Each structure stands twice: as C-alpha cells, then as structure tokens.
Structure 1
Amino acid sequence: MATFGESSYKLAKEAKRTADLLVSPYNEDLVQNICRETRMLHTKAETILRTMRDDATIDGPDKRTSRLTQLIMHHSAVKHNKRVLFAYHRQRMDKLKELSWDVGRQGEYQRDIKSALGPQEHRFLEEYGDIVASYKKAFLDIDLGGNGGVGLVPPKDLFIEVRVIKDAGEIHTEYGVLNLAKGNQFYVRRTDVETLIKAGYLKHVS
C-alpha cells in the first residue's frame, strides 16, 4: 500500500522533470490517486475531531495530545496534496497559455499537444485560443507570435547554438539542411529555429 504523500511526491517530481517539454502527458492516474487520498485524509480528520469533541470530558491529557497530533498530521497532508495539485495544474495551464500565443492554433505540433491534454485542458485550450485569436485580429499588422511568427521580443543574437531535445526530422534553411535528431547540436540562425525552440523541440544552449 502506498504511503501518505507518495503520489503527490511523484507528481511534483514529474512536473519538475517535464517542465521544459512541449506538453507532457496528463497524469490522470496520479491526480486521481491524490484526490482519493485527500478525501480519505479529510474524512479521517473529521472523525478524529468529532471524537475529540464527544470525549472531551473523559479523555486524559495524553489521549488528547495523541489525537491532536493525528489531526494536525492529517490536516498537513491534505494541505500538501492540494498544493501539489494546484502547482501541477497551474504549470500546465501556463504552458497552454504560452503555446496559444507562441505556437498558434494551426501549428504543426497541435496533434502532439492535444494528445497530451487532460479532459478539462482540451476545453481550456479551445476557449483560451478563441480569446487569443480574437485579440490578434485587432492587430493583423503586428507580429504577436504564433503560426511561425517570432512575436514582439527582439532577438539578442542573429545566430545561436541549439541542442535537439526531441526528434523533429529535417528542416531546410538558407544555409543547408539540418537533421534535427535528439542530441545533435547546431549553430544556426535564430529565425530558422525560433518556432521549434518555443515548441520544445530545441533548447537554446547559452
């Protein structure tokens, strides 16, 4: 049987490990395990509190101290689980917002993105994408990013060094063909790979 906090520890560790990916697959199993554990802990805490109230006049100091310690332990575990769940979903929500601006709705990575989303994330991505698309329509003469655009942030360097962190096949540039196989490293023109960096296929090596 899993110990208290084991699932939330695994989820937090996974979120940290996958922070640089395009979008990591939604871990439904761990999320549901944490939710079930949190409900169980909350129920046990309520039971302990009810027992303390009912037996307040007959419990000795040692018994009251023991029950209070259990109550605090269960309450702390509930808070910890909730914080991990909030952090995990906040990280994913921020990533989806970033992709809505930087990759766009018609990007070539939409299939990879959507296959990794949880049930509610699909709805969020669609609705937030509608907001972004509606906003961009008012600024058609300005590059706000997405669909190959580089956005409003000016590049610091014309050429940069990048490392491939996810296979992306071959791309043709003005200076030749690049084989973007995982682990390869190139010195390339920033504008040729900007979209791939934002999509999580390449990493800028500083």
Structure 2
Amino acid sequence: MSTMYGETSYKLAKEAKRTSDMLISTYNDDLVQSVCREIRMLNARAGASLREMRNSDNSPLNVPSQITQIMLHHLTIKRNKRILFAYHHQRLEKLKELSWSVGRQNQERKIKEALSKEENDFLERYGDLVSDYKSHFLDIDLGGNGGVGLDPPLDLFIEVRVLRDAGKINTEYGELNLTKGNQEFVRRSDVETLIKAGYLKHIA
C-alpha cells in the first residue's frame, strides 16, 4: 500500500510533540529528507498537470479532476512546509534555551551528538553571542556558574544562615553584622552575591 500524501510530515509533527519536553531529541534527518522529497515530487506533478492543461484544447473548466488534483498537491506542499518550519523552529528555540542554560556544559557531548551539522554551527555561534553579551554585564546575574539566571525572585526577603564571617555590610534598612552561625532575615538583593560566594546559605 502506497504512502498517503502528508503521512510522513504527520509522523514528523507527532515526533515534535512527543519530544517537546526533552532536553533535545536526535535530529530526524530521514523523516525531514522524506518530507522534502515529497514536496519536490508533488511540485513536479502539479507542474506537469499545469503544462498538460495549457497544451490541451479543453478549457480548464472542462477538466475539474485535474484542477482538483493540482489544488490537492498545492495544499499538501503548504502543509508539509508548515510542519517542517514548526519542527525546526521548536528545535531552534531549544538551542537558544540551551545557550543560556546553567548546566549545559555537563551535557555538551550528548547535545552535540543529537544535532544536525547546521544546528551545531548555530549553537556554537549563538553561544558565542550569548557569552559576549554576558561579558558586558558581569555585575548582573544572567545565569550560569550557579546563578539564578533571568527568572525573577519569588520572595523579596529571605532567611539566611551565615556560614563564614562576612563582617558588616550597609543596606537600605541599616547595618548587618554577618557573623558565622547567625541567622538573619534580609532583603534578597542585598545578599545574593554573598550567597553565591559561599558566605551565606538561603534557608528554605
């Protein structure tokens, strides 16, 4: 039994949905190439039908079956292209997300093995852009190296335990004396740097 038009692209759409929650799925080159081949085949058939109609003495209105077939080919091509775009767009957004990810370095090899050559090139170049961008904002936590990243804090004030003497710091609400063993209720923005440096521990 021959494969119905659009069946291969439907498989690709199902795969995209099934793998949407994964870190990154293996690029399905076989399915992508099959969809591309079907697009080229349908385009060639539609072109042949059009040439046949132009060379015929019959009016196009007298051959509705050919017009219907051309429209079917055209709509299937459009659907296949939309699925290809959606599949690659989903993967592109994943790669962008990975470029900002804190733990990406730990799975670098696994990620690279799952990507196509073009995706690996994109990840490397986009990653360079992200790194260059972050280098201009070293005083702001944009993610990586244990930082909290771009997610806004849930609580304005937090409770912390002092793990190492940090001395006195001045805040908008007064002076804090951070002596080892003490617990303090402080504004998160005042102590985030000390938490990352290991002087304080956030008590959940």
Tell me, yes or no, whether TM beats 0.5.
yes
In structure 2, the residue matched to 1:39 is 40
Identity %: 59
- State the superposition RMSD in angstroms: 1.7
The structure-2 alpha-carbon separation of the partners of 1:2 and 1:148, relative to structure 1 and needing over 3 Å to count, comes to farther
Displacement of 1:5 after TM fit? 0.8
State the partner residue of 1:19: 20
Per the alignment, do residues 153 and 70 of structure 1 end up closer, same or farther by CA in structure 2, a change over 3 Å counting?
Answer: same
1:146, 1:48 → 2: CA distance?
57
Paired with 1:155 and 1:18, the residues of 2 have a C-alpha distance of 29
Alignment partner of 1:145 is 2:140 = no
> Retained in 2: the 8 A contact 1:102–1:147?
no
Structure 1: segments with no counterpart, 5+ residues: 158-206
Shift of 1:148: 3.3
Aligned residue number for residue 10 of structure 1: 11
Q: Residue 151 of structure 1: SS of its match in structure 2?
A: coil
**1:83 and 2:57 matched:** no
Give, in whole Å, the separation in 2 of the partners of 1:33 and 1:2: 11
Residue pair 2:53, 2:60 contacting (<8 A) in 1 also: no
If you compute each CA radius of gyration, which structure gives the higher value, 1 or 2?
2
Displacement of 1:110: 1.0
CA distance in 1, matches of 2:146, 2:50: 58
Structure 1 counterpart of 2:72, one-letter code = M
Instruction: Answer 1 or 2: higher relative contact order, Cα 8 Å, separation at least 6.
Output: 1
TM-score (norm 2): 0.71
Structure 2 unaligned residues grouped into runs of 5+: 156-204
Pick closer, same or farther for the CA change 1:116–1:58 going to 2, 3 Å.
same
In the alignment, structure 1 residue 49 sits paired with structure 2 residue 50: yes
Pick from 96, 107, 110 the counterpart of residue 109 of structure 1.
107
Q: 1:103 to 1:116 in 2, by over 3 A?
A: farther
TM-score by length of 1: 0.70
